[in-house]
């Protein structure tokens, strides 16, 4: 019988402690929560859709003599980046013409970058990047960007001094077209 009384007393004491603790919990006037702000990396580089094809035309005797330069593409690139970034440029190879099996070296084209419309950032620009199959940094920024514009100029003065005179062999007045794909890539700094 003594064990039953002890058990009953222990049970009542436990119930009393739980009631006291419950009462204390109900009287708590404040509590804390942790709030996190997770900033995820987002980077986007878009070539102006109206400028997806850039044509360097050799139409006059002076074009063959002097080369074709300054094919400026205003606001050619638009960038969004959370944080600093680098933009690089490369080609998929030489400029090819499947009809003639001739090639124009990718390095004949130079890429020049500068700030576009409304771009007041103090970015660094590499001038006269020689196009090639290895990516080369064209633009460097230490700050993030929203819709930051860049103007790109394609320069082909390597065609000067009549270097391309023997590349034309199509009858009927149509141009021989030499093409290569140029890729711009954005990467975090």
DSSP assignments along 102-156, one per residue: EEE-GGG-EEEEEE-TT-----EE--SEEP-SS-EEEEEESS-EEEEEEEEEEEE
Cβ atoms 159, 58 nearer than 8 A: yes
With 0-12 CB in 10 A as exposed, 13-18 as middle and 19+ as buried, what is 85?
buried
Query: In which band, very low, low, confident or very high, does the pLDDT at 68 lie, cut at 50, 70 and 90?
Result: confident
Share of the chain above pLDDT 70, in %: 86
Residue-wise pLDDT for 114-138, tens only, equals: 999 999 999 999 988 999 999 999 9
Q: What is the pTM of this model?
A: 0.80
Q: DSSP states of 21-82 as a string?
A: HHHHHHT---------------EEEEE-GGGS-------SHHHHHH-EEEEEEEEEEEEEES
């Amino acid at each position: 019988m003594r064990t039953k009384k002890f058990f009953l007393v222990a049970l009542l004491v436990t119930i009393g402690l739980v009631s006291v603790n419950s009462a204390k919990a109900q009287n708590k006037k404040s509590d804390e929560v942790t709030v996190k702000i997770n900033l995820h990396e987002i980077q986007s580089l878009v070539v102006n859709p109206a400028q997806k094809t850039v044509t360097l035309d050799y139409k006059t005797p002076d074009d063959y003599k002097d080369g074709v330069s300054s094919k400026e593409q205003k606001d050619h690139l638009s960038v969004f980046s959370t944080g600093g970034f680098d933009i690089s440029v490369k080609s998929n190879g030489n400029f090819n013409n499947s009809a003639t099996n001739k090639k124009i070296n990718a390095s004949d084209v130079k890429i020049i970058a500068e700030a576009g419309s409304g771009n007041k950032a103090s970015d660094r620009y590499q001038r006269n990047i020689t196009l090639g199959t290895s990516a080369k940094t064209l633009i460097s920024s230490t700050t993030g960007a929203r819709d930051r514009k860049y103007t790109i100029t394609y320069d082909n003065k390597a065609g000067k001094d009549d270097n391309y005179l023997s590349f034309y062999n199509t009858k009927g007045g149509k141009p021989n077209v030499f093409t290569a794909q140029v890729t711009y890539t954005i990467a975090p700094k």
